[in-house]
Amino acid sequence: MHLELVTVIVDEYDSAIEFFVGRVGFELVEDSSSVTQGGRQKRWVVVRPPGAATGLLLARADGDAQRNAGGGHFAGRVGLFLRVDDFDVAYERMRSAGVEFLTSPRVEPYGRVAVFADVAGNRWDLVGPS
């Protein structure tokens, strides 16, 4: 058993793909046409870190409630954690690619960490070894 997907609500598919693939370094696993339960066109977009089993389903907001939830998935807390083998390399690559880091790197008991915001405003920990 494993967790396959986590949904992140986004404003637009293409800008979300550019962020996660072009800036963070994820792979685009799937991008196919689909239809909402209400019959509206949508896309099924999945990205994930290279070699990972768990990915993100990038879901375009459908309606005001979902649009208003963007960035609020975790009530302002860090809710997603991206573990990397080489913190310095990942941090510099992402920062150079335009990822907005909200904190400077620091050392915690579980490793080096810096908080960044995704394209929807959700907070992530970039975590690597101490």
In the chain, what percentage of residues exceed pLDDT 90? 80
> Is the predicted pLDDT of residue 70 greater than 70, yes or no?
no
**Mean pLDDT (the chain, rounded):** 93
Which residues contact residue 111 at a Cβ distance below 8 angstroms, ignoring those fewer than 6 apart? Answer: 83, 87, 127, 128, 129, 130
pLDDT band at 71 (very low <50, low <70, confident <90, very high): low
Query: Is the Cβ–Cβ distance between 92 and 110 less than 8 Å?
Result: no
pLDDT band at 61 (very low <50, low <70, confident <90, very high): confident
Annotate 40-82 with DSSP letters as a single string: -EEEEEEEE-TT-S-EEEEEE--SHHHHHHTT-TTTTSEEEEE
pLDDT at residue 74, rounded to an integer:
82
The residue extents of the domains of the chain are 5-128
Q: What is the mean pLDDT of residues 59-76?
A: 75
Distances, alpha carbon 50 to alpha carbons 25, 28, 35, 38, 105, in Å:
8, 9, 28, 33, 23
Fold classification of 5-128 (topology level): 2,3-Dihydroxybiphenyl 1,2-Dioxygenase; domain 1 (3.10.180)
In the chain, what percentage of residues exceed pLDDT 70? 95
